[in-house]
């Protein structure tokens, strides 16, 4: 079986978290749809996208490192949005 980025543990965990965030954010107020809701969904999904892109370019070390760095950046952004969701009491605990 040919291995791809979807078999990576880090990708599986990032995808599961992005889906958990999607489900959780369904309960956010409607007036947050184009603010916090979209931002947190986009950032969490971008972690997965950058991991996939980096995997495809892994033979080019600089590009691979750049994409892994981008995934880490998006993960940090996701945490910031989760902090806002917690502070606004849209969620009851940090993920």
pLDDT tens for residues 38-51? Answer: 999 999 999 999 99
Query: Exposed/middle/buried for 59, CB within 10 Å: 0-12, 13-18, 19+?
Result: exposed
Angle formed at CA 93 by CA 79 and CA 84, multiple of 5 degrees = 45
DSSP-derived 3-state class of residue 74: helix
User: What is the residue range of 61's domain?
Assistant: 5-21+30-87
Q: How many domains does the chain have?
A: 1
> In this predicted structure, what is the pLDDT of residue 23?
96
pLDDT band at 86 (very low <50, low <70, confident <90, very high): very high
pTM to 2 decimals?
Answer: 0.88
In the predicted structure, residue 94 carries a pLDDT above the cut 90: no
Give the span between the Cα atoms of 43 and 2, in whole angstroms.
29
């Amino acid at each position: 079986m040919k291995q791809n980025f979807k078999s990576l543990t880090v990708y599986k965990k990032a995808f599961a978290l992005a889906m958990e965030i999607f489900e959780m954010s369904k309960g956010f107020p409607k007036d947050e749809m184009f603010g916090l809701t979209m931002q947190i969904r986009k950032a969490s999904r971008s972690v997965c996208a950058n991991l996939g892109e980096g995997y495809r370019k892994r033979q080019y070390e600089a590009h691979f490192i750049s994409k892994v760095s981008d995934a880490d950046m998006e993960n940090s952004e996701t945490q910031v949005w989760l902090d806002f969701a917690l502070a606004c009491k849209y969620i009851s605990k940090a993920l």
